[in-house]
A and B are shown apart, each in its own frame.
Chain A
Amino acid sequence: MTTNILEMRGITKTFPGVKALANVNLEVKRGEVHAICGENGAGKSTLMKVLSGVYPFGTYDGDIVFENEVVEFKDLTDSEAKGIVIIHQELALSPYLSIAENIFLNNEQKGRGGLIDWNKTNFEASKLLARVGLRENPTTKIMDIGVGKQQLVEIAKALSKEVKLLILDEPTAALNDEDSDHLLDLILHLKGQGITSIIISHKLNEIKKVADSVTVIRDGKTIETIAKSDVTEDRIIKDMVGRDLEHRYPDHTPHLGDELLRVEDWTAHHPQDSTRVVVDGVNLNVRAGEIVGIAGLMGAGRTEFAMSLFGHSYGSRISGKVFLRGKEIRTRTVSEAIENGIAYATEDRKTYGLNLIEDIKRNISMASLKKLENFGLVHDNEEYKVATEFKQSMNIKAPNVLVKTGKLSGGNQQKVVLSKWIYSDPDVLILDEPTRGIDVGAKYEIYTIINRLAADGKGIIVISSELPELLGICDRVYALSEGRITGELPIEEATPEAMLKLMTMEKPR
Chain B
Amino acid sequence: MTNPTPTQTPTGPTGESQAVGGNINPADNKFTKWLSHVLGDLGKNGIFIALIVVVVLFAILTDGILLRPQNISNLIVQNGYILVLAIGMVMVIIAGHIDLSVGSVAAFVGACSGVFAVQWGLPWWLSIILSLAIGALVGVWQGFWIAYVGIPAFIVTLAGMLIFRGLALAVLGNANIGSFPTEYRALGNGFVSNVFGEFELDPLTLGVGALAIIALIVQQVRTRRGRTKYGQEVEPMTWFVTKLVLVSVAIGFFAYALASYKGIPITLIVLAVLVLVYGVVMNRTVFGRHIYAIGGNRHAAELSGIKTRRVDFWLFVNMGVLAALAGLIFTARLNLAGPKAGDGFELEAISAAFIGGAAVQGGVGTIGGAIIGGLIIGVLNNGMSIMGIGIEWQQAVKGLVLLLAVAFDVYNKRRSGGR
Contacts of A453 in B (CB 8 A): 6
Q: When chains A and B are docked, how far (Å) is the Cα of A411 from the Cα of B2? A: 23
Contacts of A365 in B (CB 8 A): 289
Contacts of A243 in B (CB 8 A): 13-14
Q: Are the C-beta atoms of B289 and A311 separated by less than 8 Å?
A: no
From B5, B20, B304, give the contact of A397 (CB < 8 A): B20
Contacts of A354 in B (CB 8 A): 297, 300
Question: Interface residue count for A (Cβ, 8 Å)?
Answer: 86
CB of B230 within 8 A of chain A? yes
Q: When chains A and B are docked, how far (Å) is the Cα of A456 from the Cα of B334? A: 67
Binary interface profile of A, 430-452, with partner B (CB < 8 Å = 1, else 0)?
Answer: 00000000011111110011001
Q: Are the C-beta atoms of A408 and B300 separated by less than 8 Å?
A: no
When C-beta atoms are compared, the residue in chain B nearest to A346 turns out to be: B303
Contacts of A445 in B (CB 8 A): 10-12
Please report whether the interface of chain B is mostly helix, strand, loop or mixed according to DSSP.
Answer: loop
Q: When chains A and B are docked, how far (Å) is the Cα of A272 from the Cα of B16? A: 46
CB of A16 within 8 A of chain B? yes
**Which parts of A334-354 form the interface with B (CB within 8 Å)?**
334-335, 337-339, 344, 346, 351-354
Binds A, one of B85-93, B137-145, B280-288: B280-288
Q: Give the Cβ gap from A427 to chain B, nearest Cβ, in Å.
A: 12
Q: Give the Cβ gap from B224 to chain A, nearest Cβ, in Å.
A: 11
CB of A400 within 8 A of chain B? yes
**Which parts of A373-417 form the interface with B (CB within 8 Å)?**
373, 376-378, 380-382, 384-386, 388-390, 392-395, 397-400, 403, 407-409, 411-412
**Which parts of B20-53 form the interface with A (CB within 8 Å)?**
20-25
CB of A355 within 8 A of chain B? yes
Q: Are the C-beta atoms of B300 and A352 separated by less than 8 Å?
A: yes
Q: Are the C-beta atoms of A373 and B286 separated by less than 8 Å?
A: yes
Q: Give the Cβ gap from B303 to chain A, nearest Cβ, in Å.
A: 5
Q: Are the C-beta atoms of A334 and B304 separated by less than 8 Å?
A: yes
Q: Give the Cβ gap from B95 to chain A, nearest Cβ, in Å.
A: 13
Q: Give the Cβ gap from B169 to chain A, nearest Cβ, in Å.
A: 41
CB of B301 within 8 A of chain A? yes
Q: When chains A and B are docked, how far (Å) is the Cα of A153 from the Cα of B209? A: 68
Binds B, one of A100-108, A170-178, A418-426: A418-426
Contact A381 to B20, CB < 8 A, known contacts A335-B307, A367-B304: no
Binds B, one of A3-11, A356-364, A485-493, A494-502: A356-364
CB of A81 within 8 A of chain B? no
Contacts of A411 in B (CB 8 A): 18
Q: Give the Cβ gap from A316 to chain B, nearest Cβ, in Å.
A: 15
Q: Would you list the 8 A-B pairs with minimal beta carbon distance, nearest first?
A: A441-B14, A41-B19, A17-B23, A355-B296, A444-B12, A425-B2, A448-B10, A335-B305
**What are 6 pairs between A and B in contact, CB < 8 Å?**
A337-B305, A352-B299, A354-B297, A355-B297, A419-B4, A456-B3
Q: Please give the residue numbers on chain A whose beta carbons come within 8 Å of chain B beta carbons, in ascending order.
A: 15-18, 20, 39-41, 241-243, 245-247, 310-311, 313, 333-335, 337-339, 344, 346, 351-358, 362, 365-367, 369-371, 373, 376-378, 380-382, 384-386, 388-390, 392-395, 397-400, 403, 407-409, 411-412, 419-420, 422-425, 439-445, 448-449, 452-453, 455-456
